[in-house]
Every structure is written in structure tokens, then in C-alpha cells.
Chain A
Amino acid sequence: MSLVSIQFLLFLIILIIVYFIVPKRLQWWVLLAANVVFYAFSGVSYLAYILITSAAAFIAGMALEKTSLQGQQLVAEAADSDRKKSVKAAITSRKKLIVAGAVVISMGIWGVLKYANFFIDNINSVGRLFGGAGNLEPVNLILPLGISFYTFNAVGYLIDIYRNKYRCERNFLKFFTYISFFPHIIEGPFSRYDRLSSNLFSGHRFSFDRLRYGALRVCWGYFEKTIIADKVGVTVETVFNNFRGYSGLNIAFAMVMYCIQLYADFQGYMDIVCGICEILGIELDENFRQPYFARSIDEFWRRWHLTLGTWFKDYIFYPVSMSRAGQKMGRAARKKWGAKMGKLVPGYFAMIFVWTTTGLWHGASWTYVIWGWLNMIAILSTMQFQDSYNKAKARLGIKTEGWAWQGILIIKTFCLVCLFRFFSYSGDLSAAVNIIGHTFSHFFTNLPGNLSGLFAGMEWKNIIAACAGILMLFVLDVIKEKGKWQEVREKCPLIVRDIIWIVLIVSLILLAGNQSDLQGGFMYAIY
């Protein structure tokens, strides 16, 4: 069931009514039913995959907690410190075995469905390299809805239980409600069980204020998706599908539009699901913090898809950098190159894993891996050369706090993000190189005659609507960046709010309603 459909709006209205009619202690049952119905719309058979992943994580979570409790008892009973150490070691290896088993099941399903053809491609390439036929046939596998998101949520839960961060869930239906929670299953956000479960199962009273703010946020989300993302997406597709027919300026502009499309699409989705959750009284983690105001690639990734970033930080970056190998590397680097390198090397080591996984998570091809590595190189080079960079700025007398310098940094970061996205957009290395080559070699040839020529494929009314939407999105981000969003939201006069309502609804009816791709999905849902 697409979030951008009448069907979904009906589903939502029924859910909200039933959710607030039933007693509070039964509200999570309504959510469970809604999750199952929502998921079944994507294909009843796919419920089997999510059930297996949930069951594996649930059973392993119980087993982990039982093992921990037994371990604590045995440690308390141990006669001396040597005995305590050996008991602890035995318990830890048993817990590792349990986690590994459950992770292999859930990650295994995800890995096979998502990466089978990537492996087949690579096996064929290696085979051909050594003179073989390399003719393994690709397999036709369909990814179940939200598999990358629910698998990572399940694995995060397991690792947290392994680390004794919180108690495991003892009711499978409650656990399944969390894993299959429909607002976070399509495109995230990645949630943490302890935070989400506390308000998922606590029961909530209806609040008119929450309904008003939540519904407005949902409307704004639909506006971002249908009036900004979907409209500028037409130019993106038109230009990139036939890039040789356009000037480099057109292509660069289309790439800027693609960046706006991606943000409006993903942020639009977040606004819709966070708005729905606000109405229900449930708090979801936010995924964005004005990403295009970042002053470096490192900062960009601390503002874009935040919950994915923190997932990788908690479950890959820290474990790898703090592993024995990571710590050994750090000490060796410290001895050889000094304190600075001693500090940086374990992190560099972990970032190779983080960015390779980030690349592969976004797409099963080497182009995505290269896109991940490009981001990594940009971050590492900033860290590595920070001292020289600071010295150069001081020598040149640059006022780093001034708006001009901050503006230059923001534009530089945005240009780098655009450049890297040539790779993630095309999904093919040679295509990406060709498009970049054509962009720079034909920048001023075959220029569009007027402004509408830049918005290739778009009608005038859509250009005006999209530009107005982009301006609104920009103003909103400026307000948030200045930290005044809460104040504006609370002090906004009723008349202004009513005007916003009218503008959003009229635009949605007039502009989004005619669109052939009204049923279109969200861009991040493919992951």
C-alpha cells in the first residue's frame, strides 16, 4: 500500500478512529493489526520473511538474557577471581554464539535476497578473468517490503540485549508490533527498542493539539513528496535519460534538482510518518537536521539519515575500532607516527568497514561501494589535514566565523555531495564517468535558451509550484537551523496556520491530484 494513495488515507483514518476508541491497554493490539494489514498489502507471502527474522531475534533475545542471568549467578557463586574470569569467558562465548546464530538467520535472508545477483556477477567476472565461461544465470528474487530496515532493527535489538543495555521483550506479539511497525518499516527511521517500545505500548489519550500539529506535518510531507520531489524528478529523469543532448549546465542543474528531489522525498516521508505518530502519541526519531547546511562531508553525514549513521556508529564503528586489531594498530601508529596518528588510525580502520557497508546497503554494486569510499576519502582527508588547513586559514587571515566563509563551506560541501551522487544516481561506474565527463567537457555548449529550458520536461505551472515549494522548504530549514522552530510552531497565529493549511491542501488537490505518478513510491523504499 503506497503512502501516497487514497487507500492509505482511508487506512489511516480508520486506524486513528479505532486506536482512540479502544481502551488504552488494547491500543498496541490495534497497531499490531494495522501493521499486519499494511504489510499484507505488499504481498501476504512476504509476511513469512519478517516473521522468521522477528522470531529469530525474539528467541535469541530471551536466550541471551537467560544466559546473562545464569552467568551472574555463577560469577557470584565463584570461589576466587580466576574462577570468576573463566565463568565470565564461558558465558561471553555462549552469548556470542547465540547472537551469531540469530544474526546469520536474519542477515542471511536479507543478504541472499539483496546480494545474490551481485555475488553471481562477481563470480562470473572472476570466472571470465581466469578463462572460464562465467555464465551463471542471475536469479529473480524480490525484496520484501522494508527488509533492510526491519533486519537492521532486529539485529540492533539483539546486540543491545547482548550488551545488557536493556531487558529483552517477553511477549512475541509485542516484539512483532515493534519490528513490523508500519511507519518505520518502509524507509526507517531505524529505531531503538528501548526508546520506541516505551511509548508504543504505554497507551495514549486523544489530543486535539497533537492531531492538529500531526495532520499539518502529514500534509506538509505530502506536499514535499508530490509538489517538490515528484515534480523536479521529471527534469532529473528527462536530462539523465538523454544526457548527451543537454549542456553540462543543464546536467549540473539536474543534479542539483536530484539532490532536492532526494531530500524532499525522504524528508517528506519522514514528515508523513512522524506526523502520523504524533497524532497517535508515539515519538519517532528524526532522520534529518538541515543536511544541506553542512560545512563538510563529515558534518553532512551527521545531518543526513541520522538513524542509519548512529546505527553504523554503534554496531560497526565502535566494535571494529575497539577490537584487538584496531587497538593494536592504534598503538603501533602512535609509536611510529606520534599521538595524532595513534588516535586516528583505529578510526580509519573502522571507517573502511562502515563506508563499504554504507555503500553496499544503498545498492548491490561496486558503484555504490565507490560512492561510499568517495565519502570516506572526503571525511578522512579533512581529518588528516585539519592542522595544515587551520594553519593555512590563519596565515590567510580568513575570518572563519564570518557568514561569507561559512557560505563558501556550505556551497563546497553541497558541490561535493552532488559530485558523489553522479555515482549513486547512475548505479553504473562507466555511466557515471561518462556523465561527469560530458558535464565538464560540454558545460557551455548547447545551452538552454531560457529558464524553462533548465527545467527540462516540466510544465510552467509545475515549475512555479516546485520553486515555491523549494523556497518554503529552504525557509523552514533556515528557521530550524537558527533553532527557532519550536518558538515559531508555538507562537504561529491561528490565521497563519489556517493559510498554510489552505495553501497545502489546495496545492495537493490541484497539482498532485492530476499526476500520473500519484501512486509512485518513495525513493529510499528500494533499499
Chain B
Amino acid sequence: MDRLLKIMSEVRPDLDFEIEDKLIDDDILDSFDIIAIVSEVNFEFDIELNVNDLKPENFNSAEALYDLIIKVQNG
């Protein structure tokens, strides 16, 4: 989780990802942020998140994204 928080904070240093839980619903992250996060997550965690995973419920919070990463890692 710490690795993910670091990635997200590097993309948007102005946000506290431990608190935010409506990143998509409240339009806090824009499309450029999402792409940058996905790209870094794919590289760091050696997984392949793709367009099919771009659902609000997967990106509303760091925790939700972490759950997705674990799910993809476990196949």
C-alpha cells in the first residue's frame, strides 16, 4: 500500500490519498492523472491494468485501487 500511496502522491502531490475516497465521483482526478497512475502502477507492480479496469469504483480511493492490484496479481 505504501508503494501505491507514493506513486499516487507523485502524480498529485496536492492530495492526501489516505483520506480521499471520491476521487472520481467528485472529479478530483482528471484523465491525465488516471493514465499516469495506471502507467506507474503497471510498471511498479508488474501487472497490466487496462481500459476495462477504468471504472469509478476502482479509482475512487487508494484502497480501492490497491484491492484491484491485488485482484489482478492473483489472476
Give A contacts to B, CB under 8 Å. 81, 84-85, 163-165, 313, 317-319, 321-322, 326-327, 330-331, 339, 342-344, 346-347, 350, 383
Q: A81-B75, A327-B39, A339-B10 are in contact. Are A322 and B33 (CB under 8 A)?
A: no
Q: Which A-chain residue is minimally distant from B30 (CB atoms)?
A: A347
Q: Which B-chain residue is minimally distant from A330 (CB atoms)?
A: B39
Please, how many angstroms separate the alpha-carbon atoms of A366 and B54 in the complex? 33
- Whether A322 pairs with B50 at a CB distance below 8 angstroms is yes
Question: Assuming A163-B51, A327-B38, A339-B10, what are 20 further A-B pairs, CB within 8 angstroms?
Answer: A84-B75, A85-B75, A165-B52, A318-B51, A318-B54, A321-B35, A322-B38, A322-B50, A322-B51, A326-B35, A327-B42, A327-B43, A330-B36, A330-B39, A331-B43, A343-B35, A346-B39, A347-B31, A347-B32, A347-B35
Q: Which B-chain residue is minimally distant from A339 (CB atoms)?
A: B10
- Whether B33 pairs with A319 at a CB distance below 8 angstroms is no
Interface size class, chain B: 10 to 19
Please, how many angstroms separate the alpha-carbon atoms of A344 and B39 in the complex? 12
**Which chain B residues numbered 32 to 57 have a C-beta less than 8 Å away from chain A?**
32-33, 35-36, 38-39, 42-43, 50-52, 54
Most buried by A among B35, B42, B54, B75: B35
- Whether A331 pairs with B39 at a CB distance below 8 angstroms is yes
B11 is an interface residue with CB less than 8 A from chain A: yes
- Whether A317 pairs with B31 at a CB distance below 8 angstroms is yes
Q: A313-B31, A330-B35, A343-B33 are in contact. Are A319 and B51 (CB under 8 A)?
A: yes
Determine the chain B residues whose CB is within 8 A of the CB of A313 once the complex forms.
31
16 CB contacts below 8 A, A to B, read: A164-B52, A313-B31, A318-B54, A319-B51, A322-B50, A322-B51, A330-B35, A331-B43, A339-B10, A342-B36, A343-B11, A343-B32, A343-B35, A343-B36, A346-B39, A383-B32
Please, how many angstroms separate the alpha-carbon atoms of A317 and B43 in the complex? 20
Q: Which B-chain residue is minimally distant from A327 (CB atoms)?
A: B39
Determine the chain B residues whose CB is within 8 A of the CB of A331 once the complex forms.
39, 43
Determine the chain B residues whose CB is within 8 A of the CB of A327 once the complex forms.
38-39, 42-43
Please, how many angstroms separate the alpha-carbon atoms of A163 and B54 in the complex? 10
Return the contact of A163 from the options B11, B36, B52, B75 (Cβ within 8 A). Answer: B52
- Whether A339 pairs with B38 at a CB distance below 8 angstroms is no
Q: What's the minimum C-beta distance from A441 to chain B, rounded to whole angstroms?
A: 40
Please, how many angstroms separate the alpha-carbon atoms of A119 and B19 in the complex? 54
Please, how many angstroms separate the alpha-carbon atoms of A344 and B35 in the complex? 9
- Whether B39 pairs with A322 at a CB distance below 8 angstroms is yes
Determine the chain B residues whose CB is within 8 A of the CB of A319 once the complex forms.
51
Determine the chain B residues whose CB is within 8 A of the CB of A326 once the complex forms.
35, 39
**Which chain B residues numbered 46 to 72 have a C-beta less than 8 Å away from chain A?**
50-52, 54
Please, how many angstroms separate the alpha-carbon atoms of A321 and B39 in the complex? 9
Please, how many angstroms separate the alpha-carbon atoms of A350 and B43 in the complex? 19
Return the contact of B11 from the options A164, A165, A318, A339 (Cβ within 8 A). Answer: A339
Determine the chain A residues whose CB is within 8 A of the CB of B43 once the complex forms.
327, 331
Q: What's the minimum C-beta distance from B75 to chain A, rounded to whole angstroms?
A: 6
Determine the chain A residues whose CB is within 8 A of the CB of B11 once the complex forms.
339, 343
Q: What's the minimum C-beta distance from A357 to chain B, rounded to whole angstroms?
A: 16
Please, how many angstroms separate the alpha-carbon atoms of A317 and B34 in the complex? 12
